[in-house]
Amino acid sequence: MDRTILQADCGVTLVGGGEVTAAALDAALARAPRLVGVDGGADRALAAGHVPELTIGDLDSLSAAGRAALEPARIVRIAEQDTTDFDKALRSVSAPFVLAVGFTGARIDHMLGAFNVLARHPDRRCVVVGDRDVCFLAPPTLALDLAPGMRMSLFPMGPVRGRSEGLHWPIDGIDFAPDTVTGLSNRVSARGVRLSFSAPRMLVLLPVRALDAALAGLTR
């Protein structure tokens, strides 16, 4: 059963067990200062000099040293195996937005799993932050302030239609689906980009330098 374990009135950073630099973690915490370790991600946080206020997961990856460094009351085990640790953590956090670091790069299956979690929880405003790109699930309507010429990719997680303003290749009237039509490598043509979608099934991918613009759009 889902339950809120952390209620926050500011952004929350989830750190996973994948590669994440100290600089990337610091950048996330500057925007989302509440820190949650996702299973073995707590080890990543500790190695970077940050102690998570909570660690959530099935705890099969958290090291013995990491467990010893954390207060037992701050370690929350969710034993079910039907979902990933990222899913367990995201659904347990209530916050204006969440930044997820350490969930891309090392393993393709983990990265795909993270994108699946975004689609499973359209009620959460969550941005997965990688070394080069950010990814988030678009709400029904979205306005973004982006530099003309910036790359924007759209990837559907299910059948969905949309409308756009400010893209070089408009998406109006296109039937998107993961096994047919995707919207990779589109380009921003005007600073004000406006998107609307028929269902919460479209991932938006932008260069990492657009993180603040993405957060502004999601929380507007």
Q: What does the pLDDT look like over 161-210, one tens digit per residue? A: 999 999 999 999 999 999 999 999 999 999 999 999 999 999 999 999 99
- Per the CATH hierarchy, to which homologous superfamily does domain 7-131 belong? Thiamin pyrophosphokinase, catalytic domain (3.40.50.10240)
What 3-state class would DSSP assign to 52? Answer: coil
Q: Dump pLDDT digits (tens) for 100-150.
A: 999 997 688 989 999 999 999 999 999 999 999 999 999 999 999 999 999
- pTM value is 0.95
Q: Where in the sequence of the chain do the CATH 3.40.50.10240 domains occur? A: 7-131
The two structure tokens encoding residue 204: 């938006």
Residue type at 88 in one-letter notation: K
Say what angle helices 211-219 and 22-31 make with each other, to 10 degrees: 30
Residue 156 has pLDDT above 80, yes or no: yes
Residue 64 and residue 26: Cα distance in Å, rounded?
A: 25
CATH 2.60.120.320 residue window(s) in the chain:
141-219
pLDDT digits (tens, 9 = 90+) for 51-95: 999 999 999 999 999 999 999 999 999 998 899 999 999 999 999
The tokens of 1 are what? Answer: 């059963």
> Cα(171)–Cα(179) distance, rounded to whole angstroms?
17
Tell whether domain 141-219 is in CATH 2.60.120.320.
yes
